[in-house]
Amino acid sequence: MSTNPDVVVILLAEPELREQADRVAAAAGLRPVAASAPLTRKAWSAAVAILLDEETARQCEHDGLPRRDGVILIASTEPEGPTWAAAMAVGAQHVCALPAQDGDLVRHLVDAAETAREAPRAGRVIAVTGGRGGAGASTFATALAQVASASLLVDLDPWGGGIDLLLGSELVPGLRWPDLSLRGGRLAWAAVRDALPNHHGVSVLSGARHGYEVDAGAADAVVDAGRRGGMLVICDLPRRMTSAVAGTLDRADLVVVITTCDVRGVAAASTVAPVLCEINPNVGLVVRGPTPGGLRAVEAAQVAGLPLLAAMRPEPRLAERLERGGLRLRRRSPLGTAARAVLEVLPVGTQVRAA
């Protein structure tokens, strides 16, 4: 069902709160529409946001209305336990006390309206990590970014030396992680795109060759901007569980674990798999050859306890090619074939470059 990006449904039992909500909605440039319980599913789904109080939130939860974005619970006093419980029951994203938090409510409504307008362009997020060190996760993340028609490659490994070296974009001007003084918030994709290096159609936020840390709020803001901009966001994750890594895993549409096809590699992948699945159930395995002991990719996936997304034979002369200008996917490249297989498991709408 389509969303009306201008309408806020106000379902409040308290008359004074209704007046304040009308005023705040108008300040956000939106049209307040008063409603009464029970609310129809059509009205519940069509508005850009729903404003409830504790009483009407419990009524909507009792009516079995589906969870949705843009539900905000407001109160006339500082929220206490019962108010927070009602908010959780109905799936409210925010709780605001009026008039003290008028400004916060305006911001939440503006964000909801922007999200509704951008929804048709929503992109996807893939997180890539290694089942063990040296499995080739960064290389595979780079291959995914090159195969996609519009992608943002985000390097979340401060100890990896910079994924721009794999992409071959180290000389392309633009911002790297150490250049950003960002601590979260909402970013416009156009501003992020213009600030980052772009190499053969891939926008990249890379690390650098000196020490730094990736702030979790900054990582969330960049990934969210790319998603709202309709990009396929590929995140290269270290095997160390930082707050930025945990947040990215949680918001990913798909988590890809890369493993070598040998006993030690598969054993390591089987160790890390339960940790990842606890954060995000959408985890799959890519198995990289060669197979020195004759282990099959299907057997590796069974041991790791993960669905097999792709198996690939060795990429000819890969190390030599990476040393000379970064990754270039050739026709019939095993890396490219495996990357396309992974993208095919994403929801319809993700575009892939032709081979």
- Determine the pLDDT at residue 222: 92
Evaluate whether 123 touches 203 at the Cβ level (below 8 Å): no
**Residue 111 pLDDT > 90:** no
- Residues linked to residue 197 through DSSP beta bridges, in sequence order: none
CA distance 171 to 231: 23
**Residue 349 pLDDT > 50:** no
Helices then strands, each counted (H, E), the chain: 14, 13
Which residue blocks in 229-308 are alpha helix, DSSP H?
A: 243-251, 263-279, 297-304
> Token pair of 288, please?
């990289």
Evaluate whether 169 touches 205 at the Cβ level (below 8 Å): no
pLDDT in tens, 133-155: 888 999 999 999 999 978 999 99
Q: Find the mean pLDDT for residues 306-318.
A: 91
Q: CA nearest 116: which of 20, 14, 261, 8?
A: 8
CATH superfamily, with its number, for domain 4-120:
Response regulator (3.40.50.2300)
φ, ψ for residue 210 (rounded to 5)?
-140, 165
**Residue 354 pLDDT > 50:** no
- Report whether the peptide linkage leading into residue 307 is cis, meaning its omega lies within 30 degrees of zero: no
Evaluate whether 285 touches 261 at the Cβ level (below 8 Å): no
**Residue 120 pLDDT > 70:** no
Same fold, 4-120 and 123-343: yes
Q: CA nearest 272: which of 296, 316, 241, 235?
A: 241
Task: Give the lowest-confidence range in 239-243, 250-254, 322-326.
Answer: 322-326
pLDDT in tens, 160-215: 899 999 999 999 999 999 888 766 666 778 888 889 999 989 999 999 888 788 99
CA distance 251 to 245: 10
- Determine the pLDDT at residue 247: 93
CA distance 43 to 50: 10
CA distance 48 to 46: 7
pLDDT-derived band of residue 118, with 50, 70 and 90 as boundaries? low
3-state SS class at 157: coil
C-alpha triplet 120, 123, 124: angle, nearest 5°: 140
**Residue 334 pLDDT > 70:** yes
pLDDT-derived band of residue 1, with 50, 70 and 90 as boundaries? very low
- Determine the pLDDT at residue 43: 84
**Residue 233 pLDDT > 70:** yes
DSSP codes, 24-81: HHHHTT-EEEE--SSPPHHHHHHEEEEEE-HHHHHHHHHTTPPP-TTEEEEESS---H
pTM metric for this prediction: 0.67
- Determine the pLDDT at residue 350: 44
- The bridge status of strand 232-236 relative to strand 124-130 is parallel
Q: Which one of 40-49, 278-287, 341-350 scores highest in mean pLDDT?
A: 278-287
φ, ψ for residue 124 (rounded to 5)?
-125, 160
- Determine the pLDDT at residue 284: 95
DSSP conformational letter for 10 = E
Chain CA centroid to CA 260, Å: 26
Fold of 123-343: Rossmann fold (3.40.50)
- Determine the pLDDT at residue 184: 63
pLDDT-derived band of residue 73, with 50, 70 and 90 as boundaries? very high
| Residue-range domain boundaries for the chain | 4-120, 123-343
Q: Find the mean pLDDT for residues 56-84.
A: 87
- Residues linked to residue 284 through DSSP beta bridges, in sequence order: 256
- Determine the pLDDT at residue 329: 84
pLDDT-derived band of residue 299, with 50, 70 and 90 as boundaries? very high
pLDDT-derived band of residue 316, with 50, 70 and 90 as boundaries? confident
